[in-house]
Structure 1
Amino acid sequence: MDLTILFSPIDESLYAGLGAPSSFFRSIHAFTEKMPDYRGAHIAIFGIKEERGSHNNKGTASGPDEIRKKLYHLKKGLGAYRIVDLGNLNIGHDVSESYVRVSEVCRMLLEHNVLPIIIGGSHDLDYGQYCAYETMEKLVSLLNIDAYLDLEEKSESPENRHHIHKILLHEPNYLFSYTHLAYQSYLIDPQSVSILEKLYFEAFRVGQIRTNIQEIEPVVRNADMVAFDITAIRSADAPGNANAQPFGLTGEEACQICWYAGLNEKLSSIGFYEYNPSYDDAHKKTASVIATMIWYFIEGYYNRKNEQNFKSNDFMKYSVSMPVEPEVISFYKSKFSEKWWMEIPYQNGKEKYSRNSIVPCSYSDYQTAVKGEVPDRYISTLAKLL
């Protein structure tokens, strides 16, 4: 497919004067005069200036280019970059068509093993990101990072307030797990959290993350796709949003999560949404934070360890005898990264669950099993595999 007809090139003002070979911009291939060939690339960045799904955060259409201004000025990180910037995806005649366009571009990239980094635009664009997996013939784990749960009914709210509800009800259903990070209790209906728990999905408050952010790493490591709404970041660090809150993740914590996401070998797409330059400060602080988050994600990507073959000598296997069902829980520990995984059995005839039967976990899950208790992560995953 000729992507040139779907995208608009990057305005020269965004990269003018960037002559230093060490700059991020000079280390990638961007759509300036000619569309770069995405085939063979590791990562493809593209923006979408779609804001019609937003109710009170109009202005997000200007977000992608403001983020680029900051990202292009950063220095190239480690690794042999094979990154393209496809420019900005042209929006559809309505928001539904924009979802389709996001889906089609992401699907095409995924089929060529190219990881899309989407710069929005309103958060509901993650519906298009999710739909890209429909033909992949695999179950998908979605990680959503947002101060709000966005589970409202369609008739009562704009698109960016019910898009998660829309994903949960999407047919055909290929969603294996849904995890929500950084919600703020005073902004959401408690019944929404109860709904997620009944579906054996997980939701973590900001306070839970801050207590021990290392315990969030296995959660991030389990995701196939990430949708990051910058509303989750506190207004002191990211004021560029109509819904910015005084409390939330710090910029450093957001970068840490993006680093974890980049390291995740399962993860195949990520989107950054709801940045509104009209609410940002004079120095465009929020754009700088998001650009740095993207930089850390890419840095994590180029530090992946290819830890997927659990039968290799690169792993130590620990079998823990239990006083209750199950009789044994098997754990795997990487000799290189010292990360942990836990094996959960699935029933014969349900081979579609095979790629989700060994789940990321933490050392504390292993310690829980040694004490004779079944880890919560084991119970919730087993419920999804039955």
Structure 2
Amino acid sequence: MSHSSFGKKIHINNIDVSDLDEISSYDLAIFYLGDIKDVENLRRKIYSLEFGNWSLKLIDLGAFNQGHSKSDSVFGIQEIMRKLTNLGVYTLMIGGSQSDIDVYCKSFKSNDFIDVVSIDKFLGIGESIDKNESSNYLSRIILDENIKLSTFSNVGYLKHINNTKKISLVDKFNFETLSLGQLKHDINEIEPITRNSEIINFSIEALKSNVINYKLTSPNGIDSYEACLISKFMGQSIDCKISTINNIVHSLECYSIVSEMIWYVIDGFNSRYIDDFENHDEFKIYHTEIDGHNLKFLKSHISKRWWVEYIDDRIISVKNQLIPCSENDFKLSQMGIISDRILKRMKNKFV
């Protein structure tokens, strides 16, 4: 291991909930759920990578040991997440599954609205919202009165394994979805989806089977380059507090791609930029009217990101009226079309 490697630059510590207050000086914490059988092999892969040109303090909190019961484990995970979030430490958790997302949601304050993104080949919802099977994590989040879900987005779902009833049900809630085909057409459409999300989940099952050498997943999926770019978007998300990479497969190929994904999450986190909306010189502004609807598009000269605002004095916003969007959304508006993204986000934001 070279002196410039990741393993030489990260502080390594075992998890002790009582001592978490002592790590408030760190920017990012990595920890693993205990269901990863070969955590040390995964760490070896990560630590062998070169440390980036980052001005960050990183800590590896080690593996979380499961409690005597499921409720003990859930409580322990929530306590760790809650403390790290309150300390302002960005959490990158490796392991577990997407069915744990509702547990992570409950680590936020009870009055916090949460945006959740899941990169997953499954939509995470049953044909009926009240079907509460273990795989239907989105159903549980929607039904849980202790979770205030602002919006949910899925990236990379496969149409041939999600029936039309599930797709229609997700659409009914005005949740944004980006199928694998749409992702392949323009991967940069993911960035506006992740930009303001508090929790971003990446299921390794969304990857092509040959990427992780695992025949039980689909031959169609996200490739290794796309996985790393999406991981960078995860880290760059300005509101994200918790990112997870889960459904780890016990193969050297999986350890290799996961280690690189972790590297790019950190690289994205290091390059986070908060646009200053008070500084009007920082933006190019375009006004568009479509069928009597007034839209104001903003493009940052610095970050190159786009936003849109719906201008109507009669509408009261429950959150910030600025909606993350892409240049493609703006181009559609020039043709007299309000994109599905903008329509769904407006419906979720305004009352």
Please give the TM-score of this superposition, normalised by the length of structure 1. Answer: 0.83
Give the Cα–Cα distance (whole angstroms) in 2 for the partners of residues 298 and 156 of structure 1: 37
The one of 262, 267, 270 equivalent to 2:240 is 267
Q: Which one of the candidate residues 213, 222, 233 is aligned to 1:249? A: 222
| Residues 337 and 262 (structure 1), Cα distance of their counterparts in 2 relative to 1, 3 Å cut | same
- Name the structure 2 match of 1:315: 282
Deviations, residues 248-302 of structure 1 (Å, cap 9, x unaligned): 000110111011111121211100111131xx2xxx0111101100100100111
Query: After alignment, is 201-210 or 164-173 more displaced?
Result: 164-173
Determine helix, strand or coil for the equivalent of 1:266: coil
Residue 125 of structure 1 corresponds to: 100
1:97-108 equivalences under 5 Å are 97-108=72-83
Q: Which position in structure 1 is the counterpart of 2:10?
A: 28
Instruction: Report the AA paired with residue 266 of structure 2.
Output: I
Alignment match of 1:204 (pick from 178, 192, 198): 178
Task: Return closer, same or farther for 1:154/1:194 CA change in 2, 3 Å cut-off.
Answer: closer
Question: Contact 1:340/1:361 (CA < 8 Å) preserved in 2?
Answer: yes
What residue identity is the alignment partner of 2:177?
A: A
Measure, in 2, the Cα distance between the counterparts of 1:347 and 1:110.
Answer: 35
1:174–1:116: structure 2 CA closer, same or farther, 3 Å change rule? same
Is the counterpart of residue 179 in structure 1 residue 164 in structure 2?
no
Offset of residue 352 of structure 1? 4.3
Task: Write the distance in 1 (CA, Å) between the matches of 2:109 and 2:273.
Answer: 28
Taking a change above 3 Å as real, the CA distance of residues 120 and 217 of structure 1, as seen in their structure-2 partners, is: same
Which of 282, 287, 295 aligns to 2:263? It is: 295
- Are 1:223 and 2:187 matched, yes or no? no
Deviates further, 97-106 or 174-183: 97-106
Change (3 A) 1:166 1:347: farther
Asked if 1:373 corresponds to 2:337, the answer is yes
> Equivalents in 2 of 1:164, 1:226: separation in Å?
13
Task: Note if 1:142 corresponds to 2:116.
Answer: yes
Q: Indicate if the aligned counterparts of 2:194 and 2:234 stay in contact, CA closer than 8 A.
A: yes
Distance in 2 between the 1:185 and 1:372 partners?
29
Question: Equivalences for 1:188-199 in 2 at 5 Å?
Answer: 188-199=162-173
CA shift, 1:226, in A, is 0.6
Cα 1:163–1:98, aligned 2, differ >3 Å: closer, same or farther? Answer: farther
Q: What is aligned with 1:363?
A: 327
Kindly indicate whether the alpha-carbon contact (under 8 Å) linking 1:49 and 1:63 is maintained by their aligned counterparts in 2: no
Residue by residue over 1:76-112, the C-alpha shift from the partner in whole angstroms, topping out at 9 and shown as x without a partner, is: 0111121111111221222233222222211111111
Q: Distance in 1 between matches of 2:153 and 2:108?
A: 17
Query: Match for 2:207 among 230, 233, 238?
Result: 233
- Secondary structure of the residue aligned to 1:344 is strand
Percent identity over the alignment is 25
Q: 2:44 and 2:121 mapped to 1: Cα distance?
A: 26
Q: Is the contact between residue 99 and residue 127 of structure 1 (CA under 8 Å) also seen in structure 2?
A: no
**C-alpha distance 370-311 of structure 1, shift in aligned 2 (>3 A):** farther
| AA in 2 matched with 1:332 | L
Distance 1:377 1:92, change over 3 A: same
